[in-house]
Amino acid sequence: MRRSRSTLATWHTTELSYDTPAVRSYSELRMSPTTGSSQRVLRHRIELSQPAHRVRYRDYWGSVVTYFDIQRPHSELTIVASSTVRCAPWSTGSVVTLATLARPETQRALLEYLLPTPLTTIAEPAIDLEVGTDPLERAEALAAIVHDTITYAPGTTTVDTTADEAWARRSGVCQDATHVLCALLRHAGIPARYVSGCFAPHALEVSEAAEGASHAWVEAWVGHWHPLDPTNLFAPSERYITVARGRDYRDVAPLHGIYEGPGRQTMRSSVRIQRVS
């Protein structure tokens, strides 16, 4: 059977303003999708409204980073990351046994995705982590538990909210559900990584455009990296574009930086997606 494919164009716009000019600023962007098994990047561009020195590189986790610095006073900065990506549903692979996953050599090879981080630690999960007969069943069962437990509630958490706090509060946004699922999977001995990107709110018709959203989901290693979306509880598909991967949000933050100046910074961002073919 032929896999469904679509070509999506995206525009991720971030607007920064300062109530008094920033003297200079230094930033890292993780807004560039990468080609992989489920997508092929056809075009990508980052536009800045201010002159800047730029360097582009891949970080330790394989994500594309654009570093830039602005060495003159500025009261505003607009960043537009535009891409055209050919997307397909994730391909499936073989699933290892729980015994294979527990082998020391497997654990060593994937140790960085098994260790907790400050954002992905839950002291006492208080649920049965030994569900399912293989790693995939277990991962999908835990994703369903997170989906049923964490109520989607924008504005109730911040980028610094931990999995422990979100689990106790039983609410949050996609970032929180992703942190909680990473924590539970790692508790259960399943390597997990945090994935950032964007997705269309529904299946788009050719030429249709919609307000998209920055999004986060999980990839669990079950013999291959298998995507799980605990927020929506459907398998990531050709509606999703992957941008960055890491251990938690801090590894994949779309914009990270500092500026010099006494003023306060305000940020607004939006994502627009159009299906090209």
pLDDT in tens, 79-112: 999 999 999 888 788 999 999 999 999 999 999 9
Mean pLDDT of 207-231: 96
Q: Would you state the pLDDT for residue 236?
A: 78
Poorest-pLDDT segment among 21-35, 137-151, 198-212: 198-212
Q: What is the mean pLDDT of the chain?
A: 95
Mean pLDDT of 189-207: 95
Longest dimension (CA), the chain: 60
Radius of gyration of the chain (CA): 19
Residue 2 pLDDT > 70: no
Q: If you search the block for the tokens 């006073």, which residue do you land on?
A: 73
Q: Would you state the pLDDT for residue 5?
A: 83
The share of the chain scoring above pLDDT 90, in percent, equals 87
Residue 74 pLDDT > 50: yes
Q: Would you state the pLDDT for residue 234?
A: 79
CA-to-CA dists, residue 103 to 21, 100, 150, 232, angstroms: 56, 5, 32, 32
Q: How confident is the model at residue 62 (pLDDT cuts 50, 70, 90)?
A: very high
Cβ-contact 184, 125 below 8 angstroms: yes
Q: Would you state the pLDDT for residue 1?
A: 40
51: amino acid identity, one letter: P
Poorest-pLDDT segment among 1-15, 86-100, 193-207, 248-262: 1-15
Mean pLDDT of 213-236: 94
Cβ-based neighbour number of residue 51 at 10 Å: 10
In the chain, what are the domain boundaries?
Answer: 6-88+254-275, 98-252
Q: Closest by alpha carbon to 219, among 65, 62, 82? A: 62
pLDDT in tens, 15-52: 999 999 999 999 999 999 999 989 999 999 999 999 99
Q: How confident is the model at residue 3 (pLDDT cuts 50, 70, 90)?
A: low
| 234/20: higher pLDDT | 20
Residue 156 pLDDT > 60: yes
Domain 98-252 has CATH 2.60.40.1930: no
Residue 150 pLDDT > 70: yes
- CATH architecture of the domain covering 6-88+254-275: Sandwich (2.60)
Six token digits for residue 111: 């140790």
